[in-house]
Amino acid sequence: MARNKITIAGSGNVGAETAHIAAGKKLGDIVLLDIVEGLAQGKALDIAEASPIKLSSPGIVGTCDWEQTADSDIVIITSGLPRKPGMSRDDLLAKNTQIVKDVSAKAAKHSPEAIIIVVCNPLDAMVYVAASITGFDSDKVMGMAGVLDSGRFSYFIASELGVSVDDVKCVLLGGHGDDMVPLPRYTSISGIPVTELLTEEKIARLIERTRKGGIEVVNLLGCSAYYAPAAGAVKMAEAILGDTKAVMSCCAYCDSEYGVGGHFVGVPVVLGRNGVKKVIELELKESERKQFEKSLAHVKQLTAKVDKFL
C-alpha cells in the first residue's frame, strides 16, 4: 500500500516545524521545499537524523525541485513573508499574493489530486488565491486559522480555570484577524458551557487576548508564531489523511451557509479524506451574526484587493 505523501512549501519556521511534527506523527513521506538552496535540504536532514532518537518517521527529504513533490496527497503552503512588529496581517497582502500564486500553480501542476492547506497570511485572502490558481474543487482548498485561534482560546480558558486543555472545546467563526468571532455559547469544558464557569467580563478579556494572540507573539519574539500554527496544520492533515471526520474550525468555502455567498471564511467543518466533507451551520444570535458579518466584510475587502494581483 502506497504511503501518504505530504509536501510542505516553504522551509522557514512554520514549514520546518510542520515537517517536524508531521514526522513525529508518522503521517507519511514528507517533502520539504524551498527556493533557497540548502535550506530545505538541511532542515530535512536534521529532522531525519532525529528520527532514531524520537522514534519518528525518517521519510523526509528537502528540495528546491517541484518534481520531487509529484503526486502529493496534501500540499501545505507556508511560503510567504512573516509578520514583524508593527505589521498587520493585511500588510502582507501584495507580496504574499504573488508567492502563493506561484506556489499554487506549481502544486496544481505536479499534484493535481492534492488537498491544499494554506497557512500564510492574510490567511483568508491567501486561501482564495490558492483556490483561484489551482482551480481545484472548493472542498479541497482550505486554510489553517480556526484551529490555531481555537487552540489559543482553549489555552487561555484552561489557564484561567486551572483545568486540562484536553477538556476545553471551542468554536470560532470569521476571518483570521482582529475581528475573528470566538463563540462562548458554543465553548465548553467537558460539556459544561464556559459561560457557567467564567464571568462575561473574564470571557471578554480572553476573547480579546485570543484576537490579539498573533501580535502578542510577534511583539515578544520579533516574528510570527510558528509552533502553534504548525501544530494546527498537522492536525488538519492528520484528520484528512486518516479520514477521521474530525470537527474543527478552519477557513473553508461557504456559499449559502451563514449567508456568505461564495467566499472562504472561518467556520466549523468536518474534515475527511477528500477535504471538507461538511460545513456545520450554527444558529447565531443577532449579536453573534453582526460580529460575523463584520468579519466577513473584511474578508471580502481583502479578496477584492487580491483580484488586482491575479
Q: What is each CA distance from 197 to 172, 174, 191, in whole angstroms? A: 19, 25, 12
Residues 9 and 131 in one domain: yes
Residues 249 and 214 in one domain: yes
**In the chain, what are the helix, strand and coil shares in percent, each to the nearest 5?**
50, 20, 30
Last residue of a domain, one of 116, 143, 170: 143
CATH number at residue 89: 3.40.50.720
**C-alpha cell recorded at residue 168:** 476545553
Last residue of a domain, one of 125, 143, 161: 143
Question: What is the structure's pLDDT at 84?
Answer: 73
Question: What is the structure's pLDDT at 308?
Answer: 86
pLDDT tens digits for the chain (310 residues)?
679 999 999 999 999 999 999 999 999 999 999 999 999 999 999 999 999 998 777 799 999 999 999 999 999 999 988 767 776 666 778 899 999 999 999 999 999 999 999 999 999 999 999 999 999 999 999 999 999 999 999 999 999 999 999 999 999 999 998 999 999 999 999 999 999 999 999 999 999 999 999 999 999 999 899 999 999 999 999 999 999 999 999 999 999 999 999 999 999 999 999 999 999 999 999 999 999 999 999 999 999 999 988 8
Catalytic residue check, 176: yes
Residues 275 and 249 in one domain: yes
d(CA 222, CA 163): 30
Question: What is the structure's pLDDT at 124?
Answer: 96
Question: What is the structure's pLDDT at 290?
Answer: 97
Task: Find the catalytic residue in 20, 110, 176, 263.
Answer: 176
Question: What is the structure's pLDDT at 55?
Answer: 74
Question: What is the structure's pLDDT at 300?
Answer: 96
Q: Which amino acid is at 273?
A: R
- Contact present, 117 and 236 (Cβ < 8 Å): yes
d(CA 189, CA 12): 35
Residues 160 and 110 in one domain: no
Q: Which domain holds residue 207?
A: 146-309
Residues 257 and 274 in one domain: yes
Torsion-angle region of residue 38: left (phi > 0), alpha (psi -120 to 50) or beta?
left
CATH number at residue 244: 3.90.110.10
d(CA 170, CA 154): 6
Helix H or strand E segment including 237: helix 227-241
Domain total of the chain = 2
Question: What is the structure's pLDDT at 309?
Answer: 85
Residues 159 and 298 in one domain: yes
Last residue of a domain, one of 143, 176, 202: 143
d(CA 71, CA 63): 15
- Contact present, 93 and 125 (Cβ < 8 Å): yes
Question: What is the structure's pLDDT at 1?
Answer: 63
Tell me the pTM: 0.95
